[in-house]
Structure 1
């Protein structure tokens, strides 16, 4: 016990000195260590959950092979007398299943599979190979991730700009009929099921023909960059509008409530008593204090956008990381599922670290590392 305490003290002493010398750097280092621990536990849990799921990818491959062979034999009329596979075929299939499981490493416990995968990622920077397409997982993610990042960044920018504009503006109109109506519709669309809203949007596109029913052009950017830009804007407008309507309501109400709370603070009355114009009171003083709750919740907003884009990408056939994740889960492609989950989780955790840093820069009252 004394040895353990002594070891902990030897670790804690240089860390405390580093924390006092560079509090922000120590905070970032601590959050990065926490992020790595969380990612490790997430990967371990994912491997365990995939192990608990009934069947695996080899069972699906063998079932598809058996069904295709049965369809082929029935169509050609070559059926066995008993209508069943022979014992020799059953033995062959069982050996083939065992051979495939050994090839994919599925014959070992899930924790052994996880540590082998972790060792390959850390030492060789290799995310593995997709068990279905046999393509490198890094290539599959790289080909889809930028589509999802672009979609969610556009949503985040528009939600942020309009939320601040509407929240600040309608906080000055609090209690009026217009403010009541806008607050009602913001609450309505915020509570409206996003899945149903996406389905209604696609039905609108199919009936009217104004917008495409898919959210991505049928040609690449390299073929015609300018034409692709206009076509992409046309394709993405409707699903982007649904994402915007669903996200702007809650953020706008939060900013409006924060502005109203700030306008009742004593320093606002002091500023007005000094003859400061109402425009400066709103924009230079009260508005700055609305940044704190938004920055704190921006990482959660980004996470909700990524999780919501999963449904959007499936319904509108958008080639993003969410759709890739869905296909990997349905096919039980463990390498692709794990890499997708870890990548999205890392993005969300990095967003939280960035939001904490921005919060310290915006609010001078926050000083990490100070007692």
Structure 2
């Protein structure tokens, strides 16, 4: 049955198989995340206990008494709290309960620290991260193609060598160090803010918020652009040079076709394949890089929310954030595979020849 479907609709079979593989990977990733959180020292109960002891200790010092600083938590109370939160069960039982709640009830649970619904916390942050990463992806894509195609026609010149040097330099430069240096420059010069988000909501003044947002995210976007455009541009440049050396290019030129048509209508189209293949990896690197950026520039995104949840051992929030980012990355890979098959008709996934 499967072989029959594969022969009649190879592309549809491939898409369905990739989607199934994506969900299997998400299942394994969630299982691994629960296991890693189990191995981490302490848990959410220890975190809550430490915060309570610190608050009690400060209250006792303020009143001149040390009695409030004593540890008033008994083992029975701690065990009861863990039982209420479901932390007394093995991690795999916790994971399957969480999975059942998400799949069947469509409920991501509540944050163990703030007691706010996880879906509310995610919805308030995910659009910020998506907007920032999509802007970075568009800028890197557009400039990579423009520069890659242009410098493929200038291969071997001094300008090409100089641009290639700086592209490799910023591509190899540590991203976290670049972010810190840029923030120091912003702090010293005062031209740009050291945070990456306006201090007032969008609803208050939409137009002013838009311009303020562009001003705030300029430096983070610049760091993301410098770190991503170098490798992508060189990939497109190398692919263009490889295509320009193909026999069909010589045949087109021998027929008197203009260089513009040779570049744009023929060689350029074949550069889309490696970019589409690598675009999913680029999106994954942007999301992973935005985690550090959101922490350094105090940007209210999913990455920063995940970091705070990990520090507080908030397993519900950590798992939901991590699964969401992984889902977006895996979805990007599936979309890139589909686009690759659409752009290049020579590709036949599983079709008989």
Normalised by the shorter chain, which TM-score bucket?
Answer: over 0.9
> Could you report, residue by residue, the CA deviation over 1:231-257 in whole angstroms, capped at 9, with x for unpaired residues?
111111111111101100000011111
> Could you report, residue by residue, the CA deviation over 1:7-54 in whole angstroms, capped at 9, with x for unpaired residues?
xxxxxxx22222222222111110111111111100000101100111
Aligned to 2:38: 51
> Could you report, residue by residue, the CA deviation over 1:27-85 in whole angstroms, capped at 9, with x for unpaired residues?
111011111111110000010110011110100111121122222223322235xx984
Q: Equivalents in 2 of 1:246, 1:356: separation in Å?
A: 24
Alpha-carbon distance, 1:123 to partner: 0.6
Q: Are 1:23 and 2:3 matched, yes or no? A: no
Q: Are 1:351 and 2:332 matched, yes or no? A: yes
Alpha-carbon distance, 1:204 to partner: 1.1
Aligned pairs for 1:161-200 (under 5 A) are: 161-200=142-181
Q: Equivalents in 1 of 2:9, 2:83: separation in Å?
A: 50
> Is the Cα–Cα contact under 8 Å of residues 60 and 69 in structure 2 kept in the other structure?
no
Q: Equivalents in 2 of 1:299, 1:185: separation in Å?
A: 24
> Is the Cα–Cα contact under 8 Å of residues 35 and 92 in structure 2 kept in the other structure?
yes
Q: Equivalents in 1 of 2:210, 2:125: separation in Å?
A: 17
Q: Equivalents in 1 of 2:131, 2:162: separation in Å?
A: 32
> Is the Cα–Cα contact under 8 Å of residues 192 and 215 in structure 2 kept in the other structure?
yes
Q: Equivalents in 1 of 2:64, 2:69: separation in Å?
A: 14
**Tell me, what secondary structure is at the counterpart of 1:108?**
coil
Q: Are 1:60 and 2:50 matched, yes or no? A: no
Q: Equivalents in 1 of 2:69, 2:7: separation in Å?
A: 75
Q: Equivalents in 2 of 1:76, 1:361: separation in Å?
A: 72
Aligned to 1:72: 59
1:300 to 278, 281, 287: 281
Aligned to 2:82: 101
Q: Equivalents in 2 of 1:148, 1:176: separation in Å?
A: 39
**Tell me, what secondary structure is at the counterpart of 2:232?**
helix
Q: Equivalents in 2 of 1:148, 1:161: separation in Å?
A: 20
Q: Are 1:229 and 2:216 matched, yes or no? A: no
Aligned to 1:248: 229
Q: Equivalents in 2 of 1:235, 1:189: separation in Å?
A: 22
Structure 2: gaps spanning 5 or more residues: none
Larger radius of gyration: 1
Q: Equivalents in 2 of 1:161, 1:67: separation in Å?
A: 52
Aligned to 1:316: 297
> Could you report, residue by residue, the CA deviation over 1:251-309 in whole angstroms, capped at 9, with x for unpaired residues?
00111111111111111111111111111111111101100000000000000000000
Aligned to 1:7: none
Q: Equivalents in 2 of 1:41, 1:59: separation in Å?
A: 27
**Tell me, what secondary structure is at the counterpart of 2:351?**
coil
Aligned to 1:257: 238
**Tell me, what secondary structure is at the counterpart of 1:364?**
coil
> Could you report, residue by residue, the CA deviation over 1:168-223 in whole angstroms, capped at 9, with x for unpaired residues?
00010000000000000000000001101101111111111111111100111111
Q: Equivalents in 1 of 2:171, 2:340: separation in Å?
A: 26
> Is the Cα–Cα contact under 8 Å of residues 187 and 194 in structure 2 kept in the other structure?
yes
> Is the Cα–Cα contact under 8 Å of residues 58 and 69 in structure 2 kept in the other structure?
no
Q: Equivalents in 1 of 2:306, 2:137: separation in Å?
A: 21
TM-score, normalization by structure 1 = 0.93
Aligned to 1:10: none
Q: Equivalents in 1 of 2:337, 2:59: separation in Å?
A: 60
Q: Are 1:37 and 2:18 matched, yes or no? A: no
Give the length in aligned residue pairs: 352
